[in-house]
Amino acid sequence: MPHAPLGSLLRHLRRFHELSSADATDGDLLHRHLGGDEAAFETLVHRHAPLVWGVCRRLLANDHDAEDAFQAAFLVLLRKANALEVTDSLAPWLHAVAMRIARKARVMALRRRCRETQAEMPTASDPFAEVEQRDLPALLDEELLVDAEFVRMQAPFGDTVRPSPRASLV
């Protein structure tokens, strides 16, 4: 019976910690992680896993390559945590890191595939449709990244003009 109040207190502390992690900004969680709070980093991973996984999966055709890129993105976050100055959200930074890692993994996978097999290219009934279906999600992610960089560059000047889709292709 003497352990009942202790168990109740521990449940209350766990619940308080979970609630405080849910309401904390990414900058707060990163700061807590740097102070030794492993649960804070776990919360960051859970919070941003769908974003990072989506980028990796869209850019990489192979699930194993996507998993490797996903893990690498969070390893980069672990290594660079001291140097980051995040106040609100890690999402843009993690998106850019995941894009870079996935692009490199895609190039490496293509090189590996070329070395492993010297098979003939299959003939497709509509080669443009196949290329479009394979590359469209990756192109969309790249355009979003370019648009985000443009907005970030224009924000200090108060400019609200958005680039046309054609302007980013030139």
- Percent of the chain exceeding pLDDT 90 equals 36
pLDDT for the residue 116: 78
Burial of residue 19, with CB atoms counted within 10 A of its CB: 0-12 exposed, 13-18 middle, 19 or more buried: exposed
Nearest to 77 by CA among 109, 138, 29, 146: 29
Q: Which of 47, 108, 99, 36 is nearest to 72 (CA)?
A: 99
Q: What is the mean pLDDT of residues 78-89?
A: 85
Residue 167 scores a pLDDT above 80? no
More confident residue, 17 or 55: 55
Which residues contact residue 25 at a Cβ distance below 8 angstroms, ignoring those fewer than 6 apart?
A: 87, 88, 89
Q: What is the DSSP letter of 84?
A: -
pLDDT digits over 14-31, tens only?
655 554 566 788 889 989
pTM attached to this predicted model: 0.58
Task: Supply the pLDDT for residue 5.
Answer: 63
Structural domains in the chain, CATH included, are 13-118 (1.10.1740.10)
Residue 58's closest CA among 141, 128, 129, 132? 141
Coil, strand or helix at 137: helix
